[in-house]
Structure 1
């Protein structure tokens, strides 16, 4: 029975409901909402992954679980993404003795861990690229760094900020503290991440000896493999395994690795080696040998990042991982001609998620001195690969200390 006007008067005029507060997500998160709306099964998969991520983390006794967010629903995940895409990178307080150097890495690993168990659905992978790029854009803004966040890095010994800060009394007024070596200071996080070392902090070993090869970056040596006659990586003597996994990510043959350079077959029967850069390392790279630049370019690719939890309850993204989520990856390819005696050397800086940005400064035809800078990573730099021709007869010489600074000797050409 319909209510009459008298009925309404007797009951009283209903109060207008208060306007609901509409929470506006970040634009990139709204894009994901629309994708999920059009692909409901994707929403189910994400939710299942979120639930599994927390459950497995508990089972594996992940340390400091309460320091991480554990969204269990799509709405909670959307809110988490809102915060992450505007997260200002900060390192842990120096008073935290345990894993004090892992704040950023843990944050990134946790991001991937939450979606570690979702199938590699193309539409989601494409959106993840957009998300990574959006955060990368934020890291290029003044809002991405604060005096407090910068101080958190200065407080951490592994960042060795004395290598990048002009000391008091050198160029600064009396009574002033150390200042960034950038004329304007570091106005964004990416400016800080791509900071330059002070003069003399990365001396070049045996500068005039063309037989000595130096590290192109601050990096820890990981692996060395021979390359067979078909430009295939040979692992454990098995020529049938044609590829090596880059950053534990996508598989490439040498031809694919330097595709488009015109030198795809130049390193047959040569040597492949790669090293890993930590978040606290100098993220600029230099020429390992002197030579003429024959090719210099950034190549677009994809990256997989598999996150695990170790027996010690720590997040880890092993360098030999083979599964994960596709993000925008770029790698730079620099090919140097050292001359007839030792031939060509390729240097390949490889980006990783979140933001894979490799900036190449050298141009074909110029001559680089050993140790001369030719580019830098923005947030996300990860690996650096070296390729040597067969004629150079390269011999690795790193000793017991696998971590080398840019300019440190890593090997020799055994040619006469």
Structure 2
């Protein structure tokens, strides 16, 4: 990818050494091309100016602390964008969430913010409910602003593929939460990746790190139920957000809960078109396409959704075996839902919370792949979703029409960003989600699932949760470089 030279020059001046704490102020970055473009949009679009000002104001009503919400005006927002596209990912030890994810926010010293905090905050600022329309956030309400958000995602993604972006990678590789994953079947006592000699050349190379060949010689974790066609496995180290029924006319129905500009809570239902999700909707650009699929196959079926956090493994593996019959890579929006979670008890930490609801998968950049498993379970759609600051979804060369996909086979990876995965099943598949549920409820979701490792049993066909979890990895191909 081509780096914008003016941004690269400013990035070098914006970096401060902060891994040992927050003692130093960050150097102010130069005004960036992305910021100048936004300023031009604001001048030419008074509605956008009003929307931004109102979204920022409502954010201040939710959290008025300048150390954790320093953007209180349009000028503050311009300064934030300058810092965002010149940000070197940080992993500073100042506070931890649930003993794992590091939390760091330092007012307008954005180089002292941790990576997930600044990413989630960037969407909190534009995720305020401005109207009573179910999609009343500025991310949905203003198309030009949505296009601009894509531009800054790409600009930041370009930078993360340069050597300068690797300056703080040692802070990540020394953090066990980026090397291990805890689940019921794997306590995470040993690292799953092996840094190359001399370290990672770019932050993107670290973010897309592969399994250690010495530990996983087949390029995959052991695939549970490999020989049982009823078993569906997790596509990557991820957390389930749940399962939802698809209506008989192809709509995903989800509950809706938002707060309007007036502060009034809005509740109801939101209907999203599964057919458009599969085939592409108005205004979405087709990057690559082959094969065909009848979207009505999924009427009355099941929609599932998995979330990958910033510290997770970000390569993707096939959850079922079958023949690839369809692919459509769609470029659309780069949105994310984000709220503020205020600490209320001793030992708790406040943080910006990416709230991963099913309806926010619609209108996102995505790769939709159809896999025909044959009878009796039919076609399964798998769809990696580029959310937030994602510069691409990169598929492997073997993913072509009529190729045979093996369960657990690596087929793509995310570039940097928040990322999700949707899997859809036909009604006749009788899919049952088998992931364990934690006793405490998840904020806004109601159900809190345990994490899943790539290759672990995720669910079963046929309505019976008793499908096999016996691991196997027969004939798995070796790891494939991310650029192939």
Aligned to 1:8: none
* Native 8 Å contact 2:307 2:419 kept in 1: yes
Write the mapping of 1:138-177 to structure 2, written as runs, cut at 5 A: 138-146=159-167, 149-160=168-179, 163-166=191-194
CA distance in 2, matches of 1:214, 1:160: 21
CA distance in 2, matches of 1:251, 1:359: 30
2:456 to 405, 408, 413: 408
Aligned to 1:266: 297
Cα-to-partner distance string for 1:149-182 (whole Å, 9 max, x where unaligned): 112212323212654543xxxxxxxxxxxx33xx
* Native 8 Å contact 2:277 2:362 kept in 1: no
* Native 8 Å contact 2:179 2:191 kept in 1: yes
Cα-to-partner distance string for 1:341-395 (whole Å, 9 max, x where unaligned): 3221111111111225222221111111110011111112422111122332222
Aligned to 2:116: 105
- Please, which runs of 5 or more residues in structure 1 have no aligned partner? 1-22, 167-178, 237-249
Cα-to-partner distance string for 1:173-205 (whole Å, 9 max, x where unaligned): xxxxxx33xx88532222211111124262111
Aligned to 1:37: 43
CA distance in 2, matches of 1:301, 1:280: 25
Cα-to-partner distance string for 1:70-123 (whole Å, 9 max, x where unaligned): 244444433332221010111122x64456434322111222233445754443
CA distance 1:393–1:254, shift in 2 (3 Å): same
* Native 8 Å contact 2:370 2:382 kept in 1: yes
CA distance in 2, matches of 1:285, 1:190: 16
Structure-1-length-normalised TM-score:
0.76
CA distance 1:110–1:26, shift in 2 (3 Å): same
Aligned to 2:393: 358
Aligned to 1:197: 211
CA distance 1:211–1:196, shift in 2 (3 Å): same
Aligned to 1:226: 245
CA distance in 1, matches of 2:73, 2:200: 38
Query: Does 1:399 pair with 2:436?
Result: yes
* Native 8 Å contact 2:254 2:359 kept in 1: no
Query: Does 1:292 pair with 2:323?
Result: yes
Aligned to 1:281: 312
User: SS at 2:279's partner residue?
Assistant: coil
Query: Does 1:212 pair with 2:249?
Result: no
Root mean square deviation, CA, Å = 3.1
Cα-to-partner distance string for 1:207-232 (whole Å, 9 max, x where unaligned): 12212111112111112123333223
CA distance 1:125–1:212, shift in 2 (3 Å): closer
CA distance 1:121–1:267, shift in 2 (3 Å): closer
CA distance 1:405–1:24, shift in 2 (3 Å): closer
Superposed displacement of residue 274, structure 1: 1.2
CA distance 1:98–1:288, shift in 2 (3 Å): closer
CA distance in 2, matches of 1:213, 1:295: 19
Q: Which protein has the larger Cα radius of gyration, Structure 1 or Structure 2?
A: 1
Structure-2-length-normalised TM-score:
0.66
Aligned to 1:252: 272
CA distance 1:164–1:76, shift in 2 (3 Å): same
